[in-house]
Chains A and B, each alone.
Chain A
Amino acid sequence: MNSAFTASPFVGKTFGVTVSRLHKSFGRATVLTDINLDVKPGEIFCIMGPSGSGKSVLLKHIAGLETATSGEVRIGEFDAADPETRNKIHLALVFQAGALFSSLSVYDNLALYPREHRQGNEAGIRERVMHALSILSLEKAVHKFPSDLSGGMKKRVAIARALVMEPQLLLYDEPTSELDPVMSATLTEIIATLREQTAVTSIVVTHDRDLAFNIADRLAFVMDGRIRGLGLPADFKSPADPVIANFLNPVIDLKNPRFKQLENHHE
């Protein structure tokens, strides 16, 4: 990657994220219980956990898209739930489902942020956009619309859109879930390189063990809306907690499939 991503005036200023005693319920359903996290500035922090455990909801709290039932999330010294915070900190969220603007072409999806924030002229914006697209091998899709893209392409456009924003805090919600192995490897490199060049803080929610173990400075496991484990990747190479061990290395036993066991369980 070249200097196109170091042109931002925000490079260098970086923020940690503190989640304290966060609870969240939707009506009667409790989704998050007593979440405490302390992500350091410039850190790559991975969050893993089973489907439905509350990872996306946690990420939305950090992005200020959900309000906590109790507890709080701080980015640096700012309250994540306060709309004013967005004028002080530039964060980008790669949505699990992409959340591309369906009425805009791929190019305009990426150019929207710099245009709306009046960051330079159209030529400069074009260079930034094309650079981000080339990193994710999307040059051929520039003029396509989101409805004409495959799932993995949408995800890549979403990632490229976040890169163009040159954020100080980058949140990824399962960035590799729809990518092929080569693209996943590329993304691993992107996340690591970005941190090196811009000191951005990254929080990566993922099911992808390779991604997590390759780039994470620290890892957290969320299960049933609680933090089940937190530590260095090395700590989880052979985890003591049997639940985490089983999550990371599920035993495939074709003789005794899980769903049969489930049936027995209900009897």
Chain B
Amino acid sequence: MNLPTAILSHIGGTLLLLVRTLKYLPTLPRQFPRFMEHCYLIGYTSLPIVTILSFFIGSVLALQSGYSMENFGAKQFIGTLVGLTMARELGPVMVAILITGRVGSAVTAELASMKVYQEIDALVTMNIPPERMLVLPRLAAVLVMMPVLAIIANLCGWYGGALVCQYTHFISVDSEAYFSALKLYMKPRDIVDGLIKAEFFGFVIMLVCCYIGLNTRGGPREIGASVTKAVVTSLILILVLDYFVTKALLFT
């Protein structure tokens, strides 16, 4: 199979997985414990790294913009810049990248090993569709947890920026001025757009990682290959789709 056909068949396969999974949507309420377990794994266990990284991203953003904006006396707008950048762009993208590395890779590894060791075959003979038991609760959990993580990332990023602005000698914008600039030029729509993005990325990552895991063939070595493939594909998709989603959101 040449590359374009391979890509098309994978897109088709992924969409088919989505359709098959959505068919089991009514079973979600009785899978509540499983759904909660994945919420815990996706959301709660990612909290430390999301807080730390977004705090430092906000800080560095304030530092860099403080350095360059000082030249043309626009220091009072640092809050606006950090606020908008975190909410519209860096918050969602960074959370998506973290989720790919922390959660997507683990999901692919787990499903791929279930496939390789015939656990998926066992489910199929037991008439328990893997889409229902393995994909649906994860997809639902990621959709619930992504906006939560993105909001936390925004808050940490904003406070990181505020701290840097107040305590860096060449910037020294106090946090009151910082936050009033942040509020002045930011509309609720900016935050909502960011959350929509996060939601979209999380959905794509989980679907792709499940698809690649479930379609692993061969022996244990293929598990590693699948994880690599899932992470690389997810990262590419995040950054490429980011452009198009941003464009779509800006012009609607």
* B122 / chain A contacts, CB cutoff of 8 Å: 93, 95, 99-101
Tell me, in angstroms, the Cα distance from A116 to B125 when the chains sit together. 13
Tell me, in angstroms, the Cα distance from A116 to B129 when the chains sit together. 10
> Which of A60, A86, A101 sits near B127, CB closer than 8 Å?
A86
> Which of B117, B118, B128 sits near A112, CB closer than 8 Å?
B128
Q: A92 near B: Cβ within 8 Å?
A: yes
> Which of B118, B127, B128 sits near A95, CB closer than 8 Å?
B118
* A64 / chain B contacts, CB cutoff of 8 Å: 124-125
Which A163-208 residues sit within 8 Å CB-CB of chain B?
Answer: 165
Interface string of A138-174 (1 = CB under 8 A from B): 0000000000000000000000000001000000000
Please tell me if the beta carbons of A99 and B127 are within 8 angstroms of each other in the complex. Answer: no
Tell me, in angstroms, the Cα distance from A63 to B121 when the chains sit together. 10
Please tell me if the beta carbons of A99 and B124 are within 8 angstroms of each other in the complex. Answer: no
Q: A30 near B: Cβ within 8 Å?
A: no
Tell me, in angstroms, the Cα distance from A88 to B122 when the chains sit together. 17
> Which of B113, B117, B125 sits near A97, CB closer than 8 Å?
B117
> Which of A86, A92, A99, A117 sits near B121, CB closer than 8 Å?
A99
| Distance to closest chain A CB from B145 (angstroms) | 20
Q: How large is the interface on A (under 10, 10 to 19, 20 to 34, 35 or more residues)?
A: 20 to 34
Which A91-146 residues sit within 8 Å CB-CB of chain B?
Answer: 91-93, 95, 97, 99-103, 112-113, 116-118
Which A48-66 residues sit within 8 Å CB-CB of chain B?
Answer: 60, 63-65
The residue in chain B whose Cβ has the minimal distance to the Cβ of A171 is B125
Q: How large is the interface on B (under 10, 10 to 19, 20 to 34, 35 or more residues)?
A: 10 to 19
Tell me, in angstroms, the Cα distance from A97 to B118 when the chains sit together. 8
| Distance to closest chain A CB from B92 (angstroms) | 31
Interface of A is mostly: loop
* A103 / chain B contacts, CB cutoff of 8 Å: 110
Tell me, in angstroms, the Cα distance from A45 to B127 when the chains sit together. 24
> Which of B30, B117, B128 sits near A99, CB closer than 8 Å?
B117
Q: A90 near B: Cβ within 8 Å?
A: yes
* B110 / chain A contacts, CB cutoff of 8 Å: 103
| Distance to closest chain A CB from B168 (angstroms) | 48
The residue in chain A whose Cβ has the minimal distance to the Cβ of B124 is A65
Which B96-125 residues sit within 8 Å CB-CB of chain A?
Answer: 110, 113-114, 117-119, 121-122, 124-125
* A256 / chain B contacts, CB cutoff of 8 Å: none
Interface string of B23-66 (1 = CB under 8 A from A): 00000001000000000000000000000000000000000000
The residue in chain B whose Cβ has the minimal distance to the Cβ of A65 is B121
* A165 / chain B contacts, CB cutoff of 8 Å: 126
Q: B133 near A: Cβ within 8 Å?
A: yes
Please tell me if the beta carbons of B117 and A116 are within 8 angstroms of each other in the complex. Answer: no
Please tell me if the beta carbons of A116 and B118 are within 8 angstroms of each other in the complex. Answer: no
> Which of B119, B124, B126, B133 sits near A102, CB closer than 8 Å?
B119
Q: A87 near B: Cβ within 8 Å?
A: yes
Interface string of A74-86 (1 = CB under 8 A from B): 0000000000001
| Distance to closest chain B CB from A234 (angstroms) | 33
Tell me, in angstroms, the Cα distance from A63 to B125 when the chains sit together. 7
| Distance to closest chain A CB from B170 (angstroms) | 54
> Which of A65, A101, A116, A118 sits near B119, CB closer than 8 Å?
A101
Please tell me if the beta carbons of A116 and B124 are within 8 angstroms of each other in the complex. Answer: no
Interface string of B154-170 (1 = CB under 8 A from A): 00000000000000000
Tell me, in angstroms, the Cα distance from A134 to B196 when the chains sit together. 53
Please tell me if the beta carbons of B121 and A95 are within 8 angstroms of each other in the complex. Answer: yes
Please tell me if the beta carbons of A116 and B121 are within 8 angstroms of each other in the complex. Answer: no
| Distance to closest chain A CB from B195 (angstroms) | 32
Q: Which 9 A-B residue pairs are closest in the complex by CB-CB distance?
A: A99-B118, A99-B122, A86-B127, A93-B125, A116-B128, A63-B125, A113-B126, A65-B121, A101-B119
| A-B pairs with beta carbons under 8 Å apart, 10 shown | A65-B124, A92-B125, A93-B125, A95-B118, A97-B118, A99-B119, A99-B122, A102-B119, A112-B126, A116-B133
6 A-B pairs besides A90-B127, A92-B126, A101-B122 with CB distance below 8 A are A65-B125, A101-B119, A112-B126, A112-B128, A116-B133, A117-B128
